[in-house]
Amino acid sequence: MALDATDRQTITAWFDARGGSPTCPVCKGVQWVSQDLLGLPTILDGKVALGRETFVVLPMVCVNCAYCLFFNAVLMGLNTEE
């Protein structure tokens, strides 16, 4: 799911309310770029439930070393419906 201007404002406000950008655990950098939302498959009855329920995350990529962080998009207040 592509991010729009409202989503980007929500992301900025969410991080600002929590002290700003996280510190990269690999290179200690603090510059990140957000990617489009991802829907990760869930496990139901011990099997990967492809095409059913997904866990929607916001990937953040460190611009210095490419390390990725994933945040729960729903709890961040992002629109996960298209």
Interface with Zn ion (CB under 5 A): 24, 26-27, 29, 62, 64-65, 67
**Least Å distance between CB 31 and Zn ion?**
9
**Least Å distance between CB 14 and Zn ion?**
20
Residue closer to Zn ion, measured from CB, 40 or 65: 65
Residue closer to Zn ion, measured from CB, 43 or 65: 65
Residues whose CB is less than 8 angstroms from the CB of residue 12 and which lie 6 or more positions away in sequence, other chains included: none
Count Cβ atoms below 10 Å from residue 22 Cβ, excluding itself: 15
Backbone angles phi, psi at 59, to 5 degrees: -80, 135
Residue closer to Zn ion, measured from CB, 26 or 49: 26
CA atoms within 13 A on the CB side of 39: 13
